[in-house]
Chain A
Amino acid sequence: MKNSDSNNLKWRHQKAEMFRYFCIGVTGFAVAILAILIYQVSVLGMPWLDAQFINSFPSRFPEKAGIKSALVGTLWLVSLTAAIAIPVGVLAAVYLEEYAKPTRVTEFININIANLAGVPSIVYGILGLAIFVRFLGLERSVLSGAMTMSLLILPVIIIAAKEAIRAVPSSLRQAAYAVGATRWQVIRAHVLPSALPGILTGVILALSRAIGETAPLIMIGALTYVAFVPEGPMDEFTALPIQIFNWTSRPQAEFHELASAGIVVLLLVLLMMNALAVYIRYRGSRK
């Protein structure tokens, strides 16, 4: 070997040991950052977290302010997004895995989906603003927001569903074909049910991304001050991350504390969804 230190066995082992501790230390540092973040937010936010906070509309007075409209807005947004994105995404994955022949068109669609997954969310916001808000005249409605979010999470759902469908053993399909089932019967009765845990996990993770996204909603004009609850898909709305953004961008410390209370709620929702995804994956993998 060229290196002069390679002759020095002791030094080489010391170096290896030091490197090991370095890697452990750096990883520990990354975990510590997560711990600090969660600690910081909870300490600031917990005192504000009560029934009044959940049940009140935003207000100029911190002690009266709450997240009712934001919470209901987020619920509307996620439900509509799910209703649009889940069927489209899963059926697209079914087409790409079960029907499409390996042609150039199919390859192009697949590459395109992979690239779409990396487009910054704010670009989807620009698209939503131009197409849904202005061109289709849907204004700043929950529907505009949900359609924008659907486009944003579609690649995630399609990629996850494709993987789940690909993992279904082909012996299952062949057995069904052998007893005379048509292609759609095979898919509906065998492929989709056995791919379901994988698809559900992907869908939940995609929806939790939609819950946390802020930038596209700002682009399509979700309002930061909303003192009412949306009652239909054409109503104006706000959402939890928008409310957090609004409170964070104010200079007063009280509003920062409100923001951290909002963050605690947001993180709890996301944590529950993640736990659900892990549980479904665990149950699916036991079979």
Chain B
Amino acid sequence: MAAWGEQARVVEGGMEQLTNIVVSQGELEHIARLLEQLALDTSGSHVLLLDKSGQVISVYQQSGERDIVALGALLAGAFSSSRQVAEILGERDFRGILQQGVQESIYTSLIREHWLLVVAFDKQTHVGLVKVLARRTSDELEHVLDRVLLGSAAAKEQVVNVQFRSSVENTIDYLFRD
């Protein structure tokens, strides 16, 4: 598989393989532990790891059943939008954005141009602490990301095979019929 866009390779029919990432069981458990620790240290109600397209890789939530899928799409959209603002201002990048509420705030930061780390925390926690601890967690997640990229090719071969593709096509035809 192509680890990221710049390394995409051509597959059958002349199409490029999509940029994709395969997260293994072991790495996901590691990620989950890091998110949980960050949530405990910041008293965060939610800590999410997203990819920049808005897909939720992992989430830790102390309480509530929020719509995490929609939350991921909106947060990634807001971050992506802020990067366009940075470009207009001539700023190289906004590495983090803070959305401040009365009861709850959200801090989102970028990890290696590919992932977003999101912490939702209440007014009892100082934003400076969240930024410092998020930075620490990001450093550790960068190492995980490196390993995920290295191991993705082999892991994907085990999942996406001819039978799988055929079954997905049949499901698409069945569910999305006229």
* Chain A partners chain B: no
Chain B positions near chain A (C-beta within 8 angstroms): none
